[in-house]
Amino acid sequence: MYTELCQVINSHKNFVVISHFRPDGDAIGSTLALGLTLRALGKQVQLWNEDPCPARYTFLQGSELLQAIPPALPQEVDCFICVDTGDLKRIGDAAMARFKEAPYTVNIDHHHTNTNYADLNVVKGGEAACGCMIAELITALGAPLTRPVAEALYAAISTDTGSFQYGSTTPQVMRTTASLIEAGVDVGDINRRIWQESPMSVYTMQKEVLNHMVIEENGALTHYSMPAGKKAELGVGMEDCKDLVDYIRIWEGVKAAVIFEDMENGMIRVSLRSKDPRIDVSSIAGEHGGGGHAMASGIRMRGTLEDCREKVLNSFRRELRKLS
């Protein structure tokens, strides 16, 4: 699967590696692991993202290399690689413009909704994390698996499997993870950094969600809507709002959960999660211009909070009523 990609990497010298905006652990870990590996192979590499590295991942070596999108593609760049990005729109408008200026483009991803937007598309739909694919690529390249690379990959795989709780956690995922631990990952330390340290502002936001969430469809559907200005009112930031949907998904009897956020720019951000494999949230997201995984997807919609909420919730109501 990686033969042509290895040939592309070996034949190019100057790379950009990027992932989707509002990067999660898989996006950051895959970007850093691939970037550090390319550097170890003697390549010139720039790491980009529309948004800064989330604070919870800044302990990873290489996170300081993440840059904002420049106004033009540097002349020396000859290969542009997107990781963990199922749709080119998810890297942002400025990055899309740089992507289209690149002489050669690569798409490495694990979303089954991937749109195959690059010159070379290496897509393994249904894989637990893009980090798993980067680990396989490193082996195929014969590149060293250093401790910093292993830590980045562990962060990628751990976060996209819900700390190895999701059904995507296969024996092969655990074998890959074991190889990372053998390369020097301190599991206790890295899990503490990722999963057990949060600022108080995170809990302020969680309290808001739990106090104002809505439960319907006989307890099968939960949702919360964040109006414009709410983050400023509570004194919380964008990073404090990550993973909020998981806090309303864990209730007994809940099959699906949704968070709606008015981003104050005419767009509504929607996070969708499922606990029942019969509810494919990537399909629901696709109805409204989004995408992702069967159990975890996202949408960015234009419209009012009320209109977008009703459109998406009606899709969930339809699917849940089919089950009953």
CB-based contacts of 216-219 (< 8 A; 24+ apart in sequence): 216/317, 217/316, 217/317, 217/320, 217/321, 218/253, 218/324, 219/251, 219/253, 219/254
* Mean pLDDT of the 253-257 span: 96
Angle subtended by helix axes 147-160 and 130-141, to nearest 10: 150
One-letter amino acid of 46: Q
Q: Which of 195, 226, 248 is the last residue of a domain?
A: 195
CB-based contact 137:109 (threshold 8 Å): no
pLDDT band of residue 243 (cuts 50, 70, 90) is confident
Can you say whether residue 22 is alpha, beta or left, with left for phi > 0 and alpha for psi between -120 and 50 degrees?
Answer: left
Runs of H (alpha helix) within the chain = 3-11, 25-40, 93-101, 130-141, 147-160, 171-182, 187-195, 200-212, 230-234, 244-247, 281-287, 305-323
pLDDT of residue 309: 97
Tell me, yes or no, whether 73 and 190 share the same domain: yes
The β-bridge relationship of strands 214-216 and 14-18 is: unpaired
Residue 296: strand pairing partners: 273
Q: Rounded to 10 degrees, what is the CA torsion of 201, 297, 300, 196?
A: 10
For the cut 90, the answer to whether the pLDDT of residue 252 exceeds it is: yes
Tell me, yes or no, whether 90 and 124 share the same domain: yes
Cα 194-172-128 angle, rounded to 5 deg: 50
CATH number for the domain including 268? 3.10.310.30
For the cut 90, the answer to whether the pLDDT of residue 324 exceeds it is: no
Tell me, yes or no, whether 212 and 248 share the same domain: yes
The helix/strand/coil state of 22 is coil
Domain that holds residue 233: 200-323
pLDDT of residue 242: 78
- pLDDT (tens digit, 9 = 90+) per residue, 23-48? 999 999 999 999 999 999 999 999 99
Cα 150-156-159 angle, rounded to 5 deg: 130
Q: Which of 161, 195, 229 is the last residue of a domain?
A: 195
For the cut 90, the answer to whether the pLDDT of residue 266 exceeds it is: no
Residue 60 structure tokens: 């990873």
| String of DSSP letters for 33-95 | HHHHHHHHTT-EEEEE-SSPPPGGGTTSTTGGGEEPPPSS--TT--EEEEES-SSGGGG-HHH
Angle subtended by helix axes 25-40 and 130-141, to nearest 10: 10
One-letter amino acid of 64: E
Taking the C-alpha atoms of residue 225 and residue 309, their distance in angstroms, rounded to an integer, is 8
pLDDT of residue 238: 79
* Residues with Cβ within 8 Å of residue 305, at least 6 apart in sequence: 225, 227, 228, 260, 262, 268
pLDDT band of residue 9 (cuts 50, 70, 90) is very high
Tell me, yes or no, whether 43 and 116 share the same domain: yes
Taking the C-alpha atoms of residue 87 and residue 107, their distance in angstroms, rounded to an integer, is 10
Tell me, yes or no, whether 173 and 251 share the same domain: no
What total number of domains does the chain contain? 2
Backbone phi, psi, residue 301, to 5°: -120, 145
pLDDT of residue 277: 92
Residue 88 structure tokens: 């080119």
pLDDT band of residue 80 (cuts 50, 70, 90) is very high
The helix/strand/coil state of 323 is helix
For the cut 90, the answer to whether the pLDDT of residue 137 exceeds it is: yes
For the cut 90, the answer to whether the pLDDT of residue 166 exceeds it is: no
pLDDT of residue 139: 97
Tell me, yes or no, whether 208 and 283 share the same domain: yes
* Mean pLDDT of the 73-98 span: 96
pLDDT of residue 117: 98
Q: Rounded to 10 degrees, what is the CA torsion of 143, 145, 147, 151?
A: 110
* Mean pLDDT of the 316-323 span: 95
- pTM for the predicted model, two decimal places: 0.84
Tell me, yes or no, whether 158 and 209 share the same domain: no
Query: Residue 94, exposed/middle/buried by CB under 10 A (0-12, 13-18, 19+)?
Result: middle
Tell me, yes or no, whether 12 and 123 share the same domain: yes
For the cut 90, the answer to whether the pLDDT of residue 246 exceeds it is: no
- pLDDT (tens digit, 9 = 90+) per residue, 269-317? 999 999 999 999 999 999 999 988 888 899 999 999 999 999 999 999 9
Tell me, yes or no, whether 30 and 176 share the same domain: yes
CATH number for the domain including 45? 3.90.1640.10
Taking the C-alpha atoms of residue 281 and residue 100, their distance in angstroms, rounded to an integer, is 30
* Mean pLDDT of the 218-233 span: 95
Tell me, yes or no, whether 66 and 186 share the same domain: yes
pLDDT of residue 202: 86
Tell me, yes or no, whether 167 and 314 share the same domain: no
